[in-house]
């Protein structure tokens, strides 16, 4: 593997433009009443200060599939609302994933024009090959989801329309027809 290929495998970057102010995007990323409405619908808990805790909790559908209560955890490295959030992140849904290294996620938000926010998510998944596969969306055919692309699509749709994507309407969507397992 070349150094360039290794960088592609370990640092993932996603960018989306959302017709909403940075404050609204920040709130949707960090507040549990929003996070349960898009992506994998976890309830998140942030202590938005350096060394503050991050936790994401399984929704009812995930719990029904045997997921632990805390599905990911980490620590806030930097919080500069509504511009930048840097955190460590570890998936704890399975013992194998929990054994992987903590990863680092950076959310950069910038108002670019006409009420549009550019959200750039950089996820350094070094030392976490299983998590890298999930976040890249490689697990979507197996029902485990579309990774950051799915999460950010759901976030954008929710903020722009007020409605979640059909496959992201809430905890009930993590049931039998979305056969994700823990």
For 120, the token pair is 């750039």
Residue 29 belongs to some domain of the structure: yes
Residue 174 belongs to some domain of the structure: no
For 108, the token pair is 């950069």
pTM reported for the whole predicted model: 0.85
Q: What integer pLDDT is reported at residue 158 of this predicted model? A: 96
Residue 120 belongs to some domain of the structure: yes
Residue 49 belongs to domain with CATH number:
3.30.530.20
Can you give the residue range of the structural domain that contains 94? 3-169
More confident call, 33 vs 172: 33
Q: What percent of the chain has pLDDT over 90?
A: 58
Residue 175 belongs to some domain of the structure: no
How would you classify residue 35: left for phi > 0, otherwise alpha for psi between -120 and 50, otherwise beta?
A: alpha
Q: What integer pLDDT is reported at residue 145 of this predicted model? A: 62
Where would I find the H helices in the chain? 3-10, 22-30, 32-35, 60-64, 95-98, 129-136, 147-161
In the chain, how many domains are there? 1
Torsion sign, CA atoms 57, 61, 65, 66? positive
| For range 152-178, the mean pLDDT | 71
Residue 180 belongs to some domain of the structure: no
4 band by pLDDT with thresholds 50, 70 and 90: very low
Q: Which of 2-6, 72-76, 94-98, 147-151 has the lowest mean pLDDT?
A: 2-6
Residue 45 belongs to some domain of the structure: yes
Residue 64 belongs to some domain of the structure: yes
Check whether the bond before 109 is cis (ω within 30° of 0): no
Rounded-to-integer distance, Cα 31 and Cα 35, Å: 6
- CA angle centred on 119, ends 116 and 122, rounded to 5°: 170
Rounded-to-integer distance, Cα 26 and Cα 68, Å: 27
Rounded-to-integer distance, Cα 110 and Cα 10, Å: 24
């Amino acid at each position: 593997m070349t150094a360039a290929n290794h960088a592609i495998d370990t640092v993932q970057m996603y960018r989306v433009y959302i017709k909403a102010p940075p404050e609204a995007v920040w709130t949707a990323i960090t507040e549990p009443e929003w996070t349960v409405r898009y992506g994998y619908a976890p309830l998140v808990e942030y202590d938005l200060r350096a060394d503050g805790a991050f936790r994401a909790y399984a929704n009812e559908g995930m719990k029904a599939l045997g997921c632990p209560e805390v599905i990911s955890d980490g620590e806030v490295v930097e919080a500069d609302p509504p511009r930048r959030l840097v955190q460590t992140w570890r998936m704890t849904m399975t013992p194998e994933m929990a054994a992987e290294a903590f990863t680092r996620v950076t959310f950069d938000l910038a108002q670019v024009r006409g009420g549009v926010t550019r959200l750039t998510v950089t996820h350094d998944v070094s030392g976490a090959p299983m998590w890298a596969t999930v976040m890249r969306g490689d697990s979507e055919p197996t029902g485990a989801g579309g990774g950051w692309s799915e999460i950010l699509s759901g976030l954008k749709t929710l903020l722009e329309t007020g409605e979640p994507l059909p496959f992201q309407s809430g905890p009930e969507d993590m049931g039998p027809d979305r056969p994700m397992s823990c």
